[in-house]
Structures are given as C-alpha cells and as structure tokens.
Amino acid sequence: MKTLVTGANGFIGSNLCEKLAAAGHQVRALILRGTPEWYLDNLPVEKIYADVTRPETLPPAVQGIDYVFHLAAIAKDWGPWDSFIKVNSLGTENMARAAAKAGVKRFLLTSSVAVHHYRDIENGDENLARDCKKFAYGQSKILAEDKLKAVAQETGMEYVIVRPAVFPFGPKDTTSFFKMADAIEKNGFGFVNSGKSRITLGYVENLAEGMMLAAFHPAAKNELFIIDDGIALTWKQIVELIATELGAKMPLLNLPRPMAWTAAALMEGLWKLLPLPGEPLLTRYRINVASFNLVFSSRKIRDKLGFAPRVPLEQGIKKTVEWYKKAKASGLKV
C-alpha cells in the first residue's frame, strides 16, 4: 500500500513508519519544516514537507496515496487555545479534505482518550461520553473527530478513529518517558495520592500494529477504537518497573491531590499572568492523570479485528529504558 503518515517525525509517528516499512508498505512521511527529523534516521521513507494548517501545501503530500495515518497534532497539556484548534481541529479538516480530493481510500485519525472528562473511569469504552470541557487538548480532539466525520460523510471517504492508551510509551518518547525516567534517576519524581491510581498502558510497537490493523481491515470502516495493551497498573507499579530497569531508587516525594491541584493551579495562573516562557512544572491536567483511575477497554478492537498485543509489558519497559540510556549517553536534550 502507498501510505502517508503525518506527524511522522514524532514519537508514535516514527514508530508507525518503521512498522509500515517493515511490512512492505511504501511510506511517505509528512514533516513540518524546522521540526526535528532524527526520529526518522535510517528509515526507508519518502520525506515531504508540508503544514496541515496551510491547505495549499497538502496536495503533493496526498497525491497517489491509498491510506493516510494522521498523527500531526499539538500533543501537550499546556498552550494557547487557538493553537490547539488551528492544528488539531482545523488541521485535521484540511488534511481530510485534501485526502478525499486525492482519492484516498481510508483516513485514520489518531485521537485521544483525553476527549473524556477525567474522573475515576473503569472499563471506559468507545461509548463513553466525550465530555472534556476544561482542557484545550481534549476539546480540540473532539472537534477533530467531528471534522473528519463531516468530511467523510460529505465525500464518501472511509475513516477510522483510534484513541491510544492513557500512557503510550516506547523508544523515541521524548514527551513523557524520557523526562519521567530522568526525574526518577535524579530523585525528582513525585507521586500524587501515593501513586495508587491505575491507568492503562500501551507499548508503542503494539499501538502501531493496532493502528495498521484498524487502517487496513475491511471491518474497521468508519469505526472508532481504543487501543491499549489490556493492562492497568498503578503509577507506583509503573515507576517501580522503570526504576528497577534504571537501577534507581523508588521516589519518596508524594503530595495529596488537593495540595497538588492547588500548586498546579497557582503555577498555571503565574504562567498566564506574567507570562513566563515554557510551561509550568505542574498542570491540572497532569494532576488529574496522576490522581484518578483511568482504566479503558480495548475489547472492541480485540473482538472485531482480532487485535492482540505481541510485546509484553516488561519487555516493552526494558526496551524503552535501553533506548533512554543510549539517547541520554548520546547527549539528547528534551
């Protein structure tokens, strides 16, 4: 198949490119000019430069493509509302319209479980209400899903929407895992509510294979799937696995949720008021992720498409820590 991966030079996108190429598919990697490209080093992909917020740049990217994997997004918990809407929502619409016009067979959107209001969730599935109201990232993903469905209905292009696990991890994860492992090594990582909250995990190789299955399987047409490894651990258990592989001590820092939430709210207010560069050390979104049970179910993709994660959790952690050590030794800064 001729495939296009947007956001190809990111954590999940680059791992997906690797899996697609290994499976014999032709891979075109859409890259925003000026963003880091080392993620794609030594991968047999055709690079093309475009910007999902500029529709006029997109036709060459989708020309001759059969399947689009759309991952390009601002995937953060902090930033201006307008930027999330421009990239995540309108960017998805721009990409979908360009794909439909070019005759793309199916368009896969990588959305997020952040479309849900975070509170204690057990076995949350695809029917759970999309009720995120406080956080721009989750709201922008709700709009992105709606934009894609509208274009598909208008044009007849097939689509699939996938929502990865709460905690996707693996090699090249500079957004979460690298920073988390570094903090654990430096004894700077802290728990909320003693790390008792449970979340679902997804190793990136398993996630990429699930995305490919959803993109190519006939029964996935116009469907929505949650993709995770079917495992829910407490934050304490997750950190213990990582610390053991690192040879580091378990963190001792712990904050009760009310204190952590207040500190995050104060930091956010300070960053908005001054404003300060970068992002706050703590945000309310991060505190929610750390203090609620966020357990989702991937039963639908297992039952409907036969998805079965191949890489066990412990092996995934081991491979990710090995990458982290090599990346840190090479001087990688995140």
Distance of alpha carbon 8 from alpha carbon 32, whole angstroms:
9
Mean pLDDT of 133-144: 96
At 266, the pLDDT band (50, 70, 90 cuts) reads very high
- Whole-number pLDDT of residue 333: 83
**Domains of the chain with bracketed CATH:** 2-169+200-230+295-311 (3.40.50.720)
CA distances 328 to 111, 164, 179, 220, 325, Å, are 30, 26, 11, 39, 5
CA distances 105 to 19, 21, 25, Å, are 20, 19, 15
Looking up tokens 């490209």 gives 37
Spatial neighbors of 163 by CB under 8 A, at least 6 apart, are 111, 112, 113, 115, 126, 224, 225, 226, 227, 296
- Whole-number pLDDT of residue 303: 98
Q: Which pLDDT tens digit goes with each residue over 208-255?
A: 999 999 999 999 999 999 999 999 999 999 999 999 999 999 999 999
Degrees, nearest 5: CA angle 206-210-215: 150
Q: Which pLDDT tens digit goes with each residue over 204-215?
A: 999 999 999 999
Mean pLDDT of 55-63: 98
Mean pLDDT of 86-93: 98
Main-chain dihedrals φ then ψ at residue 29, nearest 5 degrees: -105, 115
- Whole-number pLDDT of residue 196: 98
Helix/strand/coil percent split, the chain, to 5: 45, 20, 35
Mean pLDDT of 152-173: 98
* Residues paired with residue 68 on neighbouring β-strands, in sequence order: 4, 107
- Whole-number pLDDT of residue 317: 98
Spatial neighbors of 193 by CB under 8 A, at least 6 apart, are 254, 256, 257, 290, 291
- Whole-number pLDDT of residue 334: 83
Q: Which pLDDT tens digit goes with each residue over 101-132?
A: 999 999 999 999 999 999 999 999 999 999 99
- Whole-number pLDDT of residue 132: 97
pLDDT tops 90 at residue 288: yes
What does pLDDT average to over the chain? Answer: 97
Give residue 282's Cα distance to chain centre.
Answer: 19
- Whole-number pLDDT of residue 275: 86
Is the Cβ–Cβ distance between 202 and 229 less than 8 Å?
yes
